[in-house]
Amino acid sequence: MQMLENKRVYKGTVEAGAMTALIIGVGVSVLLLIFIGVLGGQAYSLTQNQIESINDTTIKDYVKTAISSGFQSLQTVGQYMPLIVLAVVIAVILSVVLGLGVFGGGRATASAL
């Protein structure tokens, strides 16, 4: 185990900054999914009249299919978010309990158990 100047490294500990970054990252990704859905719906409602005014039915169908596909992919990604959050929570708990030091970038030599 290496010690830096005036910094003590305890067995079984993980740097708090790394866990904070993980928690913030999950929060930002959830907010992104929410904002993308809301802003996407708002953009569609603002341009719906312009889409309906397209005379060529083939182009109109392509545009509507592309919009529908975008919202379906957003819904699919949103369905995986609970699994991502669960994985992060399990990783944080395991790193604290077992002292793996995965998120701190360091090596732990002993378990906290």
Residue 45 lies in a domain: yes
Q: Which residue has the higher pLDDT, 12 or 59?
A: 59
Residue 86 lies in a domain: yes
* Residue 93 belongs to domain spanning: 28-98
Helix (H) or strand (E) holding 83: helix 57-98
**What angle, rounded to 10 degrees, do the helices at 16-52 and 57-98 form?**
170
Number of domains, the chain? 1
Residue 15 lies in a domain: no
Q: What is the pLDDT of residues 52-93, one digit of tens each?
A: 998 999 999 999 999 899 888 888 888 887 887 787 778 777
Whole-prediction pTM: 0.51
Looking at the DSSP assignment, which residues form a beta bridge with residue 7?
4
The pLDDT value recorded for residue 1 is 47
Average pLDDT in the 35-60 region?
88
Residue 61 lies in a domain: yes
